[in-house]
Amino acid sequence: MKNKKVIVLGSGMVGRVMAADLAADFDVTAADLREESLARLGDAPVKRVAADLSSPAAVRSLVEGFDLVVGAVPGSMGLATLRASIEAGRNVVDISFFPEDAFLLDDLAKARGVTAVVDCGVAPGMSNMILGYHAARMEVQRFRCYVGGLPVVRQFPFDYKAPFSPADVIEEYVRPARYVENGCLVVRPALSDTELLDFPGIGTLEAFNSDGLRSLLRTMPSVPDMIEKTLRYPGHAALVKALRESGFFGREEIAVGGARVRPLDVTSAVLFERWRLDDADDEFTVMRIVVAGAEGGRARTVVYDLLDRRDRATGYSSMARTTGFPATAAARLVLCGKLSQPGICPPEFIGRDEGCFRFVMEHLEARGVRYARSG
């Protein structure tokens, strides 16, 4: 299907992997402002274009003539980029973790006849898809998602390396966490309610509240208990919470030595060096999803476990693989006409379709991303 044209907006760690994966079947162009990011595509058969993706007008012009837009920009740019792509009448698959509600663009997408798949990564993404699959086949009463990307080698003091930009990671630590308990929406601070969990092959990790349910809060009103928690090495949450409560993530400018700066910008710059995930760093992605309820009048609990490590053959990090490949699966579904629902399409909508769900799981399996299922 090389006659189908795809443009990937953003050539960071995940964007590069998605562009290379899609280039096996489609005519792919990668766009990024940074020439060094485009250069890291190496010898992948991908066209490259330098573009300012922070400009909606530039994005609208750039995506003209493409059959599909794949969004992989930082969260702060995500909604504007998605809107610009929809305004241009292009179908979209997006992994940008932006804070706004994507359904704000639902009417626009329907008016333009655009299918816009959002949050199509690992979590949100596969977590939504798995819940969507089971919610269409059983009465789900409880949903749990625990997920994290971590370095193999722990380094004092944070025991952490960021697979994404520190600014996006910090957003997870600042944004209040929303979950559902006994049918009621509960809002708690991020990093709260830590608990320890054991994972085979990894050991003990700590889980804490984060705002990862996203569209599930809207699309799964029948599920009375849902929560998503982020996984880190024990002790990480307390360190980050101390930074947050001390004002290091503040967005209001303060005076420092005659200049005015935002604490968040300084903290991000400092942590960028501390948390930089290099290509040589061994790392892994771990996720556990629990779906419990009743099926055919009987209690049923289904558990999915994922443990994925850097692919040394390709150099792709586990987080890039587990985040990027669900999106490239969705892209193929859209490009082949198997997914053509106009409007905002969160991953749970994909999951409820048996054929689409099977396609995604087989797509991941073929690339070495394996979800072990029990129950």
pLDDT digits (tens, 9 = 90+) for 225-252: 999 999 999 999 999 999 999 999 999 9
Residue 1 has pLDDT above 80, yes or no: no
Residue 164 has pLDDT above 70, yes or no: no
Q: What is the CA radius of gyration of the chain?
A: 20
φ, ψ of residue 306 in degrees (nearest 5) = -125, 130
Q: 88-144: per-residue pLDDT in tens?
A: 999 999 999 888 999 999 999 999 999 999 999 999 999 999 999 999 999 999 999
State the pLDDT confidence band at 15, using cuts at 50, 70 and 90.
very high
Choice among 62-71, 162-171, 191-200 with the minimum mean pLDDT: 162-171
Q: 325-370: per-residue pLDDT in tens?
A: 999 999 999 999 999 989 999 999 999 999 999 999 999 999 999 9
Nearest to 77 by CA among 123, 145, 31, 21: 31
With a threshold of 0.85, does the pTM exceed it? yes
**Peptide linkage before 163 cis (omega within 30 of 0):** no
Angle at 323 between CA 318 and CA 325, to 5 degrees: 95
pLDDT mean over 205-210: 97
pLDDT mean over 190-207: 96
Task: Measure the CA–CA gap between 94 and 75, rounded to whole angstroms.
Answer: 11
Q: Residue 220 has which token pair?
A: 């799964």
Return the axis-axis angle of helices 126-135 and 354-366, rounded to nearest 10°: 140
User: Would you give the distance in Å from CA 146 to the centre of its chain?
Assistant: 14
Asked if 330 and 350 count as a contact pair (C-beta separation under 8 A), the reply is yes
**Peptide linkage before 124 cis (omega within 30 of 0):** yes
What is the four-CA torsion angle of 198, 192, 133, 288, rounded to 10 degrees?
Answer: -10
CATH architecture of 126-309: 2-Layer Sandwich (3.30)
Task: Measure the CA–CA gap between 68 and 317, rounded to whole angstroms.
Answer: 25
User: Would you give the distance in Å from CA 174 to the centre of its chain?
Assistant: 17
> How does the average pLDDT of the chain come out, rounded?
95
Asked if 124 and 147 count as a contact pair (C-beta separation under 8 A), the reply is no
CATH number assigned to the domain with residue range 5-122+319-374, chosen from the 4 options 3.40.50.150, 3.30.70.2700, 3.30.365.10, 3.40.50.720: 3.40.50.720
Q: 18-40: per-residue pLDDT in tens?
A: 999 999 999 999 999 999 889 98
One fold for both 5-122+319-374 and 126-309?
no
Q: Where are the domains of the chain?
A: 5-122+319-374, 126-309
Task: Measure the CA–CA gap between 42 and 279, rounded to whole angstroms.
Answer: 14
Asked if 117 and 334 count as a contact pair (C-beta separation under 8 A), the reply is yes
Q: 269-326: per-residue pLDDT in tens?
A: 888 888 888 777 899 999 999 999 999 999 999 999 999 999 988 989 999 999 999 9
Asked if 65 and 5 count as a contact pair (C-beta separation under 8 A), the reply is yes
Question: What element of type H or E holds 6?
Answer: strand 5-9
Task: Measure the CA–CA gap between 164 and 272, rounded to whole angstroms.
Answer: 10
How many helices and strands, by DSSP H and E, does the chain display? 13, 18
